[in-house]
Chains A and B, each alone.
Chain A
Amino acid sequence: MTDRPLIRGVGLTKVYGHLVALRDANLTVMPGEARGLIGSNGAGKSTLIKILTGAVAPTRGAVEIAGEAAPLGDPKEMIRRGVACIYQHANLAPAMSVLDNIFLGRQPTLGFGFVDRARQRREAVALIERHGVDLDLDAPVGSLPTVKQKEVEIMKALALDARVILMDEPTGWLAASEVAKLHATIRTLKSQGVGVVYISHVLDEVFAVCDTLTIMRDGRTVAESRVADIDRPHVVHLMVGEKLARESEAAGREKRRPRGSGEIRLSARNLTKRGVFKDVSFDLYAGEVFCITGLIGSKRTELVRTLFGSDRFDSGALEVDGRPASFAAPAHAIARGIGFVPEDRRREGLMLEMTMTENLAMATLDRFRRGLLMSQRGMSEAGRRVISSLSIQPPDGTKPVNLLSGGNQQKVLVGKWLVRAPHILILDEPTVGVDVGAKAEIYAILRRERDSGAAVLVVSSDLEEVMTLADRIAVMVSGRLVAVHDADAIGIDDLVREIGMAAA
């Protein structure tokens, strides 16, 4: 293609404190091109996207739009110049009509603040006709299926004359048939000369809809290629990194212990929650790491929540240490030796304003009771022990946790359960937003717990993590546990295929 690129980011670098989120990353999108952007979690994809939308200003580097240097860190200006972003979670007003959503915040007016509804409708009709999309303009957005909501977002972007549309995990919440519909819409966009950046960790989708792809790892754009010129194992290797792939595979293989000591800690039989997950059965053994992987939206989080009692299942049976269990609240699960690290540490895990020591004591307050009062000394000693054994930085228990880095916050969250020495430790996406070094440390902590006889259940979408950590791997697709493998018996390529194919 000889056209000028629609958007070009050159040498983009972003440094947060001492964490380098992005180094020298480059990304180019030509008119009518769909570019896949792939990489494991923490590879820098979202930072790169945030720079292109203007949400974040890079520390170094430049962004050009249609050959002109664009101002950095200015979201309004980026929208004006035709860069739109569709996020994983819908960004729409569900109670309002499709029409109102398309023009949300910038309705054509008749003056005195009255909306020019006739003009609004005329423009919207022209827009959906031009792009061959079938949308009922008067339907409330909340009543539409998810894929239609994505279309509304795309129309909203196009109404702003978007030339480049960035899509962040656009199929995370979609059923397989809807994915195909979305891909058809993307092809239409391409034929209109719109550029698309398609961020996904589902390789099948990238291979199905993209022309070119950019692979990121550790904040760098490590490779660019036409999709036709590259094969899947090569892509996986580039994503994971040659060295890490070999190392983690070797390290993992050496110590893998499917079914651990052979003693069943938790046993689930036909667990069902209506409309969420169905007939899930598995056994979790002492001394193993059991990973449940799958796409975002495959209901893994919902499943583990019912194991911990923060949600209820409708039918099925759960046994913990051979005794039936039905937990009405987390307190009951904790009393039976279960610990749970939720996915969203800021919203569900930590008391951000409170100190590290207090956060670490939060699941064990009963142990520090001395008569009516708390033993401050007991609390800070327990805190100190965890801080040093997990080498949390800075090693000062009086610091509020919101001053810590993501990785150290995550260690606090895991550490709070270690104070209790749980029999079963459940972790939901334990290394999201954590840098590579802290990731390795968290893996080491989990292995240590496993080796001391705990049963560790990890929910993770990060295949690299699953391959590194797991003794056994379960795959969940749309609320069903479709397969359980010994980790030695399956390679990452097969796993990708299983997750991807089941969805297609």
Chain B
Amino acid sequence: MSAGGLVTPSHTKGRIAANALPIAILAIVVVFSAAEPAFLSPDNLIGIVRQVVLVGIMATCTTFVIMTGGVDLSVGPVLASAGLVSFYALDSGAPLALVILAGLSVGALVGLVNGAAVAFLELPPIIVTLAMLSIVRGSALMLGGPEQHLIRDQPQYSFIGAGNLFGLPFPIYIFALVAIALILVQRRTPLGLLVAAIGDNERAAYLSGHRTRQTKTLVYAISGFGAALAGIIQSSQVHTALATYGPFGTELDAIAAVVLGGTSIMGAWAPSRARCSGCSSLGSSTTG
């Protein structure tokens, strides 16, 4: 039997679909720059990139959750809390590494709790993470109160979000690093294969001898980690920590970017490279 006989029309359709997003981005850019020439100014483009990076990191890190058929709605408040915790750590004079570690662990811990509730208590992800959204937002408000906390005279910390390296904003390098790491995990590690397998058929993955619950828990921790990383970058970028950062809609931006990037919301295989274009399209249309 020839392998060619198996090529179905959906493959050709798939090829067009794979290129639909770059084409759409191009169209958006052309329309916006025609309507408002300032759209193409370096300042605006850099602005888009800064915005894209935050959503991009969260989307990249929450992709695995969506691949398993779940969702993480708690990223917004986690972003705020990570900023606040970093602020307090800075304030107490902790070294930079410890500050970042503290911020990131907030996210990872919240994610672990989300994941454990979803995987071990078998609660629906949308309920768990929605509840977590309120819990974390409430905790952030209790911790930080309603006022802005200015981050002053912390050149090292500020470099994370506001610095430039080789003429490009530093957060872009962080995003690139996170994206490359997760693409590598997805395509080259047992974990990546297992996440895809859980999204495709969780029962079959379990019957193949995999600890699917532990994996699901880990996946939510990664999502929380991503949100916390975005929170640190943001607080450093705007020199402020505030309990109400990452408002309602942040989680939807992240999810939209993942879906635009080609991950099925029902859980399945995702082409990671497409996610970058997902974020760019979102960024350019919002800014526009």
Contact surface of A with B, Cβ cutoff 8 Å: 308, 310, 329-331, 333-335, 340, 342, 347-354, 358, 361-363, 365-366, 368-369, 372-374, 376, 393-394, 396, 399, 403, 416
B16 at interface by CB-CB < 8 Å? no
Q: State which residues 191-233 of B face A: CB under 8 Å.
A: 193-194, 196-197, 200-201, 203-211
In the complex the two chains form, what is the Cα distance from A366 to B208 in whole Å? Answer: 12
B201 contact set on A, CB distance < 8 A: 347-352
Judging by beta carbons under 8 Å apart, are B204 and A358 in contact?
no
Given A331-B211, A348-B203; A353-B194 close (CB under 8 Å): no
Contact surface of B with A, Cβ cutoff 8 Å: 1-3, 5-6, 8, 184, 188-190, 193-194, 196-197, 200-201, 203-211, 268-269
Given A369-B190, A394-B6, A403-B6; A353-B269 close (CB under 8 Å): yes
Given A358-B193, A374-B190, A396-B3; A331-B204 close (CB under 8 Å): no
Smallest Cβ distance from A58 to chain B, in angstroms?
Answer: 23
Given A366-B190, A369-B190, A374-B189; A354-B197 close (CB under 8 Å): yes
Among all A-B residue pairs, the 4 with the closest Cβ atoms: A351-B200, A334-B209, A365-B190, A331-B209
CB-defined A-B contacts under 8 Å, sample of 8: A347-B201, A349-B207, A363-B209, A365-B190, A366-B190, A368-B190, A373-B188, A376-B188
Q: Pick from A329, A347, A373, A394: contact of B203, CB below 8 A.
A: A347
Smallest Cβ distance from B167 to chain A, in angstroms?
Answer: 33
Judging by beta carbons under 8 Å apart, are A351 and B1 in contact?
no
Judging by beta carbons under 8 Å apart, are B200 and A352 in contact?
yes
B190 contact set on A, CB distance < 8 A: 365-366, 368-369, 374
A366 contact set on B, CB distance < 8 A: 190
Q: Pick from A335, A351, A368, A394: contact of B205, CB below 8 A.
A: A351
B188 contact set on A, CB distance < 8 A: 373-374, 376
Judging by beta carbons under 8 Å apart, are A399 and B6 in contact?
yes
Q: Pick from B5, B203, B269: contact of A354, CB below 8 A.
A: B269
A368 contact set on B, CB distance < 8 A: 190
In the complex the two chains form, what is the Cα distance from A102 to B84 in whole Å? Answer: 61
In the complex the two chains form, what is the Cα distance from A352 to B194 in whole Å? Answer: 14
Q: Pick from A353, A374, A416: contact of B208, CB below 8 A.
A: A416
Judging by beta carbons under 8 Å apart, are A330 and B208 in contact?
yes
A416 contact set on B, CB distance < 8 A: 208
Q: What residue of chain B has the Cβ atom nearest to residue A346's Cβ?
A: B201
Q: Pick from B189, B206, B207, B269: contact of A372, CB below 8 A.
A: B189
B197 contact set on A, CB distance < 8 A: 351, 354, 358, 362
B209 contact set on A, CB distance < 8 A: 329-331, 333-335, 363
A372 contact set on B, CB distance < 8 A: 189
Q: What residue of chain B has the Cβ atom nearest to residue A416's Cβ?
A: B208
Judging by beta carbons under 8 Å apart, are A362 and B3 in contact?
no
Judging by beta carbons under 8 Å apart, are B211 and A350 in contact?
no
- Of the listed residues B5, B6, B184, B200, the one surrounded by the most CB atoms of chain A closer than 10 A to its CB is B200
Smallest Cβ distance from A478 to chain B, in angstroms?
Answer: 26
Q: What residue of chain B has the Cβ atom nearest to residue A335's Cβ?
A: B209
In the complex the two chains form, what is the Cα distance from A348 to B193 in whole Å? Answer: 17
Q: What residue of chain B has the Cβ atom nearest to residue A358's Cβ?
A: B193
In the complex the two chains form, what is the Cα distance from A358 to B196 in whole Å? Answer: 10
In the complex the two chains form, what is the Cα distance from A366 to B201 in whole Å? Answer: 19
Q: Pick from A348, A358, A369: contact of B207, CB below 8 A.
A: A348
Judging by beta carbons under 8 Å apart, are A351 and B204 in contact?
yes
In the complex the two chains form, what is the Cα distance from A349 to B189 in whole Å? Answer: 22
In the complex the two chains form, what is the Cα distance from A136 to B268 in whole Å? Answer: 46
A399 contact set on B, CB distance < 8 A: 3, 6
Q: Pick from A329, A335, A347, A349: contact of B211, CB below 8 A.
A: A329
Judging by beta carbons under 8 Å apart, are A394 and B200 in contact?
no
In the complex the two chains form, what is the Cα distance from A135 to B194 in whole Å? Answer: 50
In the complex the two chains form, what is the Cα distance from A374 to B194 in whole Å? Answer: 12
A351 contact set on B, CB distance < 8 A: 196-197, 200-201, 204-205
Judging by beta carbons under 8 Å apart, are B269 and A374 in contact?
no
In the complex the two chains form, what is the Cα distance from A323 to B189 in whole Å? Answer: 34
Q: What residue of chain A has the Cβ atom nearest to residue B211's Cβ?
A: A331
Judging by beta carbons under 8 Å apart, are B268 and A353 in contact?
yes
A358 contact set on B, CB distance < 8 A: 193, 196-197
In the complex the two chains form, what is the Cα distance from A354 to B268 in whole Å? Answer: 9
In the complex the two chains form, what is the Cα distance from A373 to B185 in whole Å? Answer: 8
- Of the listed residues B1, B190, B208, the one surrounded by the most CB atoms of chain A closer than 10 A to its CB is B208
Given A350-B201, A354-B196, A366-B190; A342-B207 close (CB under 8 Å): yes
In the complex the two chains form, what is the Cα distance from A477 to B193 in whole Å? Answer: 41
B6 contact set on A, CB distance < 8 A: 394, 399, 403
Q: Pick from B2, B8, B184, B194: contact of A365, CB below 8 A.
A: B194
A403 contact set on B, CB distance < 8 A: 6, 8
A340 contact set on B, CB distance < 8 A: 207
Smallest Cβ distance from A413 to chain B, in angstroms?
Answer: 9
In the complex the two chains form, what is the Cα distance from A403 to B190 in whole Å? Answer: 24
Smallest Cβ distance from A138 to chain B, in angstroms?
Answer: 33
Smallest Cβ distance from B182 to chain A, in angstroms?
Answer: 13
Q: A329-B211, A348-B207, A365-B210 are in contact. List 5 more A-B contacts (CB 8 A).
A: A330-B209, A333-B209, A347-B203, A366-B190, A374-B193
Smallest Cβ distance from A69 to chain B, in angstroms?
Answer: 33
A373 contact set on B, CB distance < 8 A: 184, 188-189
In the complex the two chains form, what is the Cα distance from A330 to B205 in whole Å? Answer: 10
A361 contact set on B, CB distance < 8 A: 193
Q: What residue of chain A has the Cβ atom nearest to residue B207's Cβ?
A: A330
In the complex the two chains form, what is the Cα distance from A334 to B188 in whole Å? Answer: 24
- Of the listed residues A310, A335, A369, A372, the one surrounded by the most CB atoms of chain B closer than 10 A to its CB is A372
Q: What residue of chain B has the Cβ atom nearest to residue A413's Cβ?
A: B204
Smallest Cβ distance from A500 to chain B, in angstroms?
Answer: 32
Q: Pick from B2, B204, B211: contact of A348, CB below 8 A.
A: B204
A330 contact set on B, CB distance < 8 A: 206-209
